[in-house]
Amino acid sequence: MTQLTHFDEQGASRMVDVSNKEITDRVATAHAKITMKPETFQLIMDKKIQKGDAFEVARIAGIMAAKQTSCLIPMCHPLNLTSVKIDYTNNSVDTIDIFSEVRVTGKTGVEMEAITAATVCAITIYDMCKSADKGMVISDIHLVKKSGGKSGTFIFDENST
């Protein structure tokens, strides 16, 4: 049985003590998806959203969110991130896939930072485009891959969910 590390033996909440962990290079990649009307998708692709370039505003929001994760998620350690990247792919019709990659050299991983970055990026695209399409759907938020640390490498298997 897996032990939940954010609780002590008495069930009290705690921040995990990482003082004895080794410093390693750690990388995490996360994914989020936003689906919309084809007309909204085209507005984004043509950079005709009134609030500005949705991709670049969302990219900045995702980077900022990764840096603030410990302020948002109570048990996350504040980390000195070394890199945050946001990339987009699309199906040329109505869906934008968001991939965030976060890196740190430290004693704890950056999975939550990567997931937060991808999620806030999707939320920002929604905010930028909601006047054109309030029915956009944000979905498929998950950790894609992580490496480094004691637990090693994890790769998401979409067939296991």
Alpha-helical regions (H) of 20-110: 38-45, 54-67, 69-72
pLDDT of amino acid 4: 63
Choose among 128, 147, 9, 12: nearest CA to 61.
128
Residue 5 has pLDDT above 80, yes or no: no
The arithmetic mean of pLDDT across residues 70-75, rounded, is 94
Domains annotated on the chain, with CATH: 34-147 (3.30.70.640)
Confirm whether 17 is a catalytic residue.
Answer: no
From the list 46, 53, 97, 127, the catalytic residue is: 127
Give the Cα separation of 94 and 34 in Å (integer): 8
What mean pLDDT, rounded, does the chain reach?
94
How high is the pLDDT of residue 161?
A: 67
26-61 as b/e, with b when 16 or more CB fall inside 10 Å? Answer: bbbbbbbbbbbeeebbebbeeeebeeeebbebbbeb
**Is 80 exceeded by the pLDDT of residue 25?**
yes
Question: What is the share, in percent, of the chain residues with pLDDT greater than 70?
Answer: 97
Question: Is the confidence at residue 112, as pLDDT, over 80?
Answer: yes
Q: How confident is the model at residue 14 (pLDDT cuts 50, 70, 90)?
A: confident
Q: Are 91 and 99 in contact (CB under 8 A)?
A: no
Overall average pLDDT of the 142-161 stretch: 91
Backbone region of residue 11 per phi and psi (left: phi > 0; alpha: psi in -120 to 50; beta: other values): left
Report the pLDDT value the prediction gives residue 2, as an integer from 0 to 100.
Answer: 58
pLDDT at 3: 65
Local structure of 102: helix, strand or coil: strand
